[in-house]
């Protein structure tokens, strides 16, 4: 019975922690979603927007990676988180590539051949940007759903354990 009480406490802490993780993820992802929703219709200066969007995507990537380090993920959450990290890495790289000419200037300026290659990458990245943004935002939703499923599963276990304790006491 003492073991069941300890399990019950552990499940309550897990539910609380997972709920906080989900809420924090939603808050961080909303900042990025708001920035990304401007593309392409409301962008006046692409270079400035790309710089801001890349910085926000990188912060979300760091946040999601730090959550992974907590090692609280079930199998489905781990897979969804890995997918989101992959999508965020792709989006981040595409955004930074689109702005290569801002970062590589002066001494760091590429030769003509490298510049052509970077420009081709930037053009490809920009051509795929809407698709990449959509895939990333869907991946955020999938991670949120996976965390919610883990919470639901933990609540079901807690309920069953509570029933067991009540039956045992009766």
Summarised one tens digit per residue, pLDDT across range 144-167 is 999 999 999 999 999 988 887 777
Helix, strand, coil share of the chain (percent; to 5) = 85, 0, 15
Summarised one tens digit per residue, pLDDT across range 25-56 is 999 999 999 998 888 777 777 778 888 999 99
Cis peptide before 40 (omega within 30 of 0): yes
pTM of the full structure = 0.85
Q: For position 168, what pLDDT does the model report?
A: 64
Summarised one tens digit per residue, pLDDT across range 61-90 is 999 999 888 777 789 999 999 999 999 999
Produce one character per residue of 99-120: b if its CB has 16 or more CB atoms within 10 Å, e if not.
bbeeeeeeeeeeeeeeeeebee
Which fold, 2-169?
Answer: 1.20.120
Give the DSSP H or E segment for 45.
none
Percent of the chain with pLDDT over 90: 57
Please provide residue 40's backbone torsions phi and psi, each rounded to the nearest 5 degrees: -95, -10
Domain ranges (residues) in the chain: 2-169
């Amino acid at each position: 019975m003492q073991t069941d009480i300890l399990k019950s406490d552990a499940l309550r802490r897990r539910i609380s922690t997972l709920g906080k993780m989900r809420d924090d993820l939603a808050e961080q992802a909303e900042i990025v979603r708001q920035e990304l929703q401007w593309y392409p219709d409301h962008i006046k200066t692409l270079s400035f927007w790309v710089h801001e969007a890349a910085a926000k995507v990188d912060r979300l990537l760091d946040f999601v990676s730090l959550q992974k380090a907590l090692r609280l993920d079930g199998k489905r959450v781990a897979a969804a988180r890995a997918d989101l990290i992959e999508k965020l890495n792709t989006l981040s790289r595409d955004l930074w590539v689109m702005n290569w000419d801002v970062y590589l200037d002066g001494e760091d300026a590429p030769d003509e051949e490298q510049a052509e290659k970077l420009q081709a990458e930037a053009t490809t990245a920009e051509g795929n940007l809407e698709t990449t943004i959509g895939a990333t935002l869907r991946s955020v939703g999938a991670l949120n759903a996976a965390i919610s499923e883990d919470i639901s599963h933990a609540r079901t276990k807690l309920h069953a354990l509570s029933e067991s304790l009540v039956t045992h006491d009766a």
